[in-house]
Chains A and B, each alone.
Chain A
Amino acid sequence: MKWVMLIILCVSGPAWAGEARPLADDPAAEARLKHLAVELRCLVCQNQTLADSNAPLAEDLRREVREMIAKNMSDKEIIEFLVSRYGDFVLYRPPLKATTTLLWVGPFVLLTIGATALVITLRRRAHKVVDAVVSEEEHRKVEQLMAEGGKRS
């Protein structure tokens, strides 16, 4: 029985390794594809990159990118090819344009508003805190109350 298992393991090993082969055909091209695909968004599963997605469209787009790499097109040309068809949405880092200004500047605007509000509130609060004057008698009363409290517990 052990021998049978061992044989099965030996036979299944290479078959398993064979599945990933198309990726290794041209390591340099695959490295470029990977580098590009992590910057590109899959349009079907919108929060996945083109590299991660198993959607059929993502597979097709990887095939297209692979072919463009084989044709020796530059990264810029490949990205332009996709943007001209699917728009800036395919880019995980959209370019700074009139329509995307809010996207780029928005967080800093919110941060500035928040910081200003914090500074104003802190300053106002500093004005409100008035030094409390404690008279001699009040002081004695406090001491007495605290002593009593100590006894009770």
Chain B
Amino acid sequence: MNRFLLPLSIFVVVVGFLAVGLKLNPREIPSPLVGKAAPDFSQPQLYDREKVFSPADLKGKVWLLNFWASWCSGCKTEHPVLMELAKSGEVPIYGMDYKDLPEEAMAWLRQWGNPYSVIGMDDAGRVGINFGVYGVPETYVIDKQGVIRYKQIGPLNPDTVSQKIIPLVKQLESQ
């Protein structure tokens, strides 16, 4: 009996490690920006290129910054969730159209609806690099002081919104 105890316990430990490893998503890289001030930018707005979208205008508000593009399939998956969230009025969603063509972005929004309060254009992907974006969609929760409090990599789903985003927004609102 004792003879098998050691190999068996080693086996159990290895299986434990592998089971945890299977559940981890290697594409989710922890962002060093969470807890730090959101990078500043001033980008032309999609619907009015003369106007500028800048996070400085949003000081004192809790808001979401969503990087998306008309060419991104994950954004299509996520879109109904954003529409729902925008309709609920829980938190304003600001969009950053990442490496996209304005005509295509506008056509996309005409077809699927526009959940965004304001949309900035990031043609060159520079704002994306400053935010550590490596694949759209990505969503950031930014607090009243302009600090990034949460980063969602990949599409938001109803569960993440109701269990993570909304409670966090409420907590930040009350601060």
**Chain A residues near B (Cβ < 8 Å):** 43-44, 46, 56-57, 60-61, 64, 83-87, 89
Which listed residue, B32, B125, B131, touches A87 by the CB 8 Å rule? B32
B5 at the interface (CB under 8 A from A): no
Which listed residue, B99, B125, B131, touches A85 by the CB 8 Å rule? B131
**Which applies to chain A's interface (DSSP): helix, strand, loop or mixed?**
helix
- Please determine whether A84 and B134 come into contact, CB atoms closer than 8 angstroms: no
- Please determine whether B125 and A86 come into contact, CB atoms closer than 8 angstroms: no
- Please determine whether A86 and B132 come into contact, CB atoms closer than 8 angstroms: yes
| B88-142 with Cβ < 8 A to chain A | 99, 124-126, 128-132, 134-135
B30 at the interface (CB under 8 A from A): yes
**Which applies to chain B's interface (DSSP): helix, strand, loop or mixed?**
loop
**Chain B residues near A (Cβ < 8 Å):** 26-27, 29-33, 99, 124-126, 128-132, 134-135
- Please determine whether B134 and A44 come into contact, CB atoms closer than 8 angstroms: yes
- If A43-B29, A64-B126, A84-B32 are given as contacts, then 9 extra A-B residue pairs at C-beta distance below 8 Å, sorted by A number, are A43-B135, A56-B99, A57-B134, A57-B135, A60-B124, A60-B128, A86-B31, A86-B132, A86-B134
- Please determine whether A60 and B26 come into contact, CB atoms closer than 8 angstroms: no
> Could you give 26 example pairs across A and B, Cβ below 8 Å?
A43-B135, A44-B134, A46-B26, A56-B125, A57-B125, A57-B135, A60-B124, A60-B125, A60-B129, A61-B129, A64-B129, A84-B33, A85-B33, A85-B129, A85-B130, A85-B131, A85-B132, A86-B31, A86-B32, A86-B132, A86-B134, A87-B29, A87-B30, A87-B132, A89-B29, A89-B30
How far is the CB of B27 from the nearest CB of chain A, in Å? 8
Residues of B within 8 A of A64 (CB): 126, 129
How far is the CB of A98 from the nearest CB of chain B, in Å? 14
How far is the CB of A97 from the nearest CB of chain B, in Å? 12
How far is the CB of B141 from the nearest CB of chain A, in Å? 18
Instruction: List the 10 closest pairs (A to B, CB-CB), nearest first.
Output: A43-B134, A85-B132, A87-B32, A89-B29, A60-B125, A86-B132, A57-B134, A87-B29, A44-B134, A64-B129
